[in-house]
Chains A and B, each alone.
Chain A
Amino acid sequence: MSEVLVLVDHADGRVRPPALELLTLARRLGEPSAVVLGASDGVDGIAGQLRRYGAAKVYAADGAAFADHPVVPQVDALTRIAETAGAAAVLVTSSPQGREVAARVALRLGSGLITDAVDVRVGEAGPVAVQSVFAASFEITSRICHGIPVIAVKPNAATAEPVCADAVAGPVERVAVGPPDPATVATVVSRTVRPATDRPELSEAAIVVAGGRGVGGADGFGVIEELADALGAAVGASRAAVDAGWYPHAHQIGQTGRTVSPQLYLASGISGAIQHLAGMRTSKTVVAVNKDPQAPIFDVADFGVVGDLLEVLPRLTEETRRRRD
């Protein structure tokens, strides 16, 4: 069966959820091979988890280059593995960095590239990808017709399905990659890691609770966070809230922030300007709470409440906790 490479996003020795979704998708196309880059000692732990979700093989490459230089070492390694393995397709998570890696790999392989796929299926002439464009007004089905398909897939494109109950032990195929030519790469001079929270990563979360201008201030976001925690959700913010300094930019959702596609998006005190919609329009279910009955967000919401979010959300949090118990 043909090998389908899956580039695995990982952090602090843990696999990020989209990688498991990619493995599940890869099983439709062939035999998944996970590629773990720059994980050093954490590889074996990660590998067990990957096999549990269907990785038939696990490749790993490591070295200082992965931490010292953005993008290029990943591209070098993934290209080498794809060529050596004669891969039938390469799947990467569609994040800003993921897309760059996918693009450069595709170019080196002489392959076409599809980014931001929301689904990947088997087609007659090879893998077929589905994209949602123009603020979800159109759905495009396309495929690569030159070289090995390289597809960057959005988080939440599939539900990750394990093939067995526990992590599976097995060999890890180590790949050696030389250091890049210094004239062709940037070097990381310093890195400040953002403190990780217990909340799910915004772009991967199944539920997102987002606050906008209607939250009224940084304190108001406490209400948003409490609801997020009750739902097991990530917290997002509109540009207005971020510009006002009420929440960090890393949580901004919209055209110039993050794009999310969760199962449930709860827009609180967000008017629904088109730049914001661009960042969340492909969410499966949208719910809105806003004081203004004319707010455009209600036009795209599956359910809306006209009211003060500072009153409605705490009650919803209570109700959520009650139902969970």
Chain B
Amino acid sequence: MSFRLVVCVKYVPDATADRRFAQDTTTDRESVDGLLSELDEHAVEQALRLAEAIGDAEVTALTLGPDGAETALRKALAMGVDKAVHVQDDAVHGTDVMGTSAIVARALELTGYDLVVCGMASTDGAMGVLPALLAERLGVPQLTLLSEVGVEDGVVRGRRDGDAATEDLRAPLPAVVSVTDRSGEARYPSFKGVVAARKKPVRRLDLADLGIEPGTVGLRGAWTVVDHIAARPQRRAGAVVEDDGEGAGAGQLAAFLAAGAFI
């Protein structure tokens, strides 16, 4: 049987656009152009490279999101992914990361996988805990924040650059991995890729297909509740002085720091 790689991708607002909250305290996703999260592009790239190295392998892109999330899947397909799964349901609106992990884990089980590949975090939200939660729910090993990943003989290996140390890890398959942006440049889709993507299958699933009760997810099913959102005043530019090359700039900076009790 072909080796099954499944890449979890997220459709996110463009980070350079202004972002807002909607009335119900969820992120306002409608008003901003979205794209395949840059960090997930690396996950797609690594999955494609692994598939190329393994040979008899198949890559599926999986996403949970509204209509627009299709854009993220289309890009993954255009990059070379073989097929896609789009989990979509109105009841999903406002789901927290716990609920998301439940939905994605079920979708992964339904799809079938040997290795799940995720990005290191989402560019909106940036919690970075979804891969760990998936591993917990699926009962498989997690190898996260990898800059290198490889598969051989039923084992996945990876290199993780942590705060204090670099570790080489290994684990039996099946497993969940996440890769960082240092794992390698993500490829651009080519014309051929875009044309081929149009013919690739996209499987649509809703909560009923996954056997998940709507009440356990969404805003009402969340295990955290937002009490208050306050727009923080934008950082305003403070004083800016021009250095004269003779030390005036440093002098004034030192005075500022002294006034703030930093020196």
In the complex, are there CB atoms of A and B closer than 8 Å? yes
B253 and A142 within 8 A (CB): no
B123 contacts partner chain A, Cβ-Cβ < 8 Å: yes
B240 and A306 within 8 A (CB): yes
- Kindly state the separation between the CA atoms of A305 and B242 in the bound complex, as whole angstroms: 6
B241 and A305 within 8 A (CB): yes
A142 and B142 within 8 A (CB): no
B60 contacts partner chain A, Cβ-Cβ < 8 Å: no
- Kindly state the separation between the CA atoms of A197 and B228 in the bound complex, as whole angstroms: 41
B251 contacts partner chain A, Cβ-Cβ < 8 Å: yes
A137 and B240 within 8 A (CB): no
In the complex with contacts A186-B142, A305-B240, A306-B243, A140-B252 CB distance below 8 A: no
A84 contacts partner chain B, Cβ-Cβ < 8 Å: no
A96 and B128 within 8 A (CB): yes
- Kindly state the separation between the CA atoms of A146 and B216 in the bound complex, as whole angstroms: 12
Determine, out of A21-29, A41-49, A103-111, A169-177, the stretch whose residues face the partner at the interface: A103-111
**Which B residues are in CB contact (< 8 Å) with A274?**
15-16
8 A Cβ contacts from A182-238 to B: 182-194, 196, 201, 203, 207, 231
A159 contacts partner chain B, Cβ-Cβ < 8 Å: no
- Kindly state the separation between the CA atoms of A249 and B171 in the bound complex, as whole angstroms: 26
- Kindly state the separation between the CA atoms of A246 and B257 in the bound complex, as whole angstroms: 27
**Which A residues are in CB contact (< 8 Å) with B136?**
75, 103-104, 107-108
B142 and A194 within 8 A (CB): no
Q: How far is the CB of A2 from chain B (nearest CB, A)?
A: 19
B162 and A142 within 8 A (CB): no
**Which A residues are in CB contact (< 8 Å) with B228?**
140-141
Q: How far is the CB of A134 from chain B (nearest CB, A)?
A: 5
Interface size on B, residues (CB 8 A): 82
B260 and A100 within 8 A (CB): no
Contact with A along B172-195 (1 / 0, CB 8 A): 100100001110000000000000
Among B135, B226, B254, contact of A320 (Cβ-Cβ < 8 Å): B254
- Kindly state the separation between the CA atoms of A111 and B238 in the bound complex, as whole angstroms: 43
Nearest B residue to A188 by beta-carbon distance?
B167
A189 and B170 within 8 A (CB): yes
Determine the main DSSP class of B at the interface with A: mixed
Q: How far is the CB of A231 from chain B (nearest CB, A)?
A: 7
A112 and B237 within 8 A (CB): no
In the complex with contacts A189-B169, A191-B165, A305-B252, A142-B263 CB distance below 8 A: no
B235 and A281 within 8 A (CB): yes
- Kindly state the separation between the CA atoms of A187 and B167 in the bound complex, as whole angstroms: 10
Contact with A along B232-257 (1 / 0, CB 8 A): 10110111111101010111111011
Determine the main DSSP class of A at the interface with B: mixed
A71 contacts partner chain B, Cβ-Cβ < 8 Å: yes
Contact with B along A255-275 (1 / 0, CB 8 A): 110010001100000000011
B242 and A316 within 8 A (CB): no
A300 and B235 within 8 A (CB): yes
B240 and A100 within 8 A (CB): no
Q: How far is the CB of B181 from chain A (nearest CB, A)?
A: 4
Nearest B residue to A145 by beta-carbon distance?
B225
Q: How far is the CB of B86 from chain A (nearest CB, A)?
A: 25
A57 contacts partner chain B, Cβ-Cβ < 8 Å: no
B239 and A303 within 8 A (CB): yes
A187 and B171 within 8 A (CB): yes
B258 contacts partner chain A, Cβ-Cβ < 8 Å: yes
B164 and A99 within 8 A (CB): no
A114 and B224 within 8 A (CB): yes
Nearest A residue to B13 by beta-carbon distance?
A134
A97-B163, A194-B165 are known contacts; what are 10 more A-B pairs with Cβ within 8 Å?
A: A103-B133, A103-B136, A108-B136, A186-B143, A192-B165, A194-B164, A231-B262, A259-B126, A311-B245, A320-B254
Interface residues of B (CB under 8 A from A): 15-16, 19, 21, 39, 96-98, 101, 120, 123-124, 126-129, 131-133, 135-137, 139-145, 157-158, 160-172, 175, 180-182, 222-232, 234-235, 237-243, 245, 247, 249-254, 256-258, 260, 262-263
26 contacts between A and B (CB under 8 A): A96-B128, A97-B162, A100-B128, A100-B144, A103-B132, A104-B136, A107-B136, A114-B224, A116-B127, A128-B227, A137-B232, A137-B234, A190-B168, A194-B166, A203-B163, A249-B182, A256-B181, A285-B260, A286-B235, A302-B238, A305-B242, A312-B253, A315-B251, A316-B253, A318-B250, A320-B263
Q: Which 3 A-B pairs have the closest CB atoms?
A: A307-B243, A112-B223, A315-B250
